[in-house]
Amino acid sequence: MKKIFNENAIHILPLPNGIIIAAKQNEYEDKIIVAYKKISFEDGSVTAVTRNAYLLAKFGNNFRSFEIQLKDYLNCRTVLLPDNRLFAVYPDGNATIFDSDARVEWQGTLKYKNCGPADIALHGHTLWASFPESNALIRFNLRTMREELRISGSADSAFSNPEGLWIIEDTLLVCNPGSKKINEVNLKTYTVYEYAEFEEPVYQYVKIKSNEIVLLDSGVYKL
């Protein structure tokens, strides 16, 4: 495991051959100053990038319109849908689907036991969401926005405060800060396996080509 960025990282966005990291630069009372860094997998370089580069990676080509609509672009979790549509949800569960012109198609909430999700991931016509307070993963139908399936959600759950989600074909990888583990869920059988374990909480996992990246308390690492 190789450390590629320090402990100030907030979250990671994937690029075709690298990642963009939103990192805390300074903090004043209740305000956080954020810087954006790009790490290239080609040469390992770390370079500062603009906020627009971050927004493009998060919202796609129409990022300016989505930024205006969403206001708080940093704290929302997003997935790009077919036809350049966007699904966005905040930690409190308030959610919106926008069309390609950033017009609202649907607005509502994505909650379980009155809590919003920590992360979301797209799989076909469904949306997976992690709910750390309930140790649960829930699959929602994107057409109806209704719950279709729930995994765990009890005291003996296979998950421990699940947060970051990443999907590779029919496999869902789940970061568990509580157990310091990444679990692997087979989305055909819903069998849960242990994928990796760390010495500190793990919050996010992404895989770009053969590059596996994790966000831990102490920084960003390449496995």
| pLDDT higher than threshold 90 for residue 133 | yes
Angle at which helix 51-59 crosses helix 63-70, to 10 degrees, equals 90
CB atoms within 10 A of CB 156: 6
Number of H helices, E strands in the chain: 2, 20
HSE, side-chain direction, 13 A CA sphere, residue 176: 26
Q: With contact defined as beta carbons under 8 Å apart, do 198 and 216 qualify?
A: yes
Q: Which domain holds residue 185?
A: 2-222
Q: What is the pLDDT of residues 56-109, one digit of tens each?
A: 999 988 999 999 999 899 999 999 999 989 999 999 999 999 999 999 999 999
Eight-state DSSP code of residue 115? B
Q: What is the pLDDT of residues 23-51, one digit of tens each?
A: 998 888 778 899 999 999 999 999 999 99
The CATH number that applies at residue 150 is 2.120.10.30
Domain count, the chain: 1
| pLDDT higher than threshold 90 for residue 55 | yes
pLDDT level of residue 153 (50, 70, 90 thresholds) = low
Instruction: Give me the pLDDT at residue 159, please.
Output: 94
Residue type, 9: A
HSE, side-chain direction, 13 A CA sphere, residue 68: 7
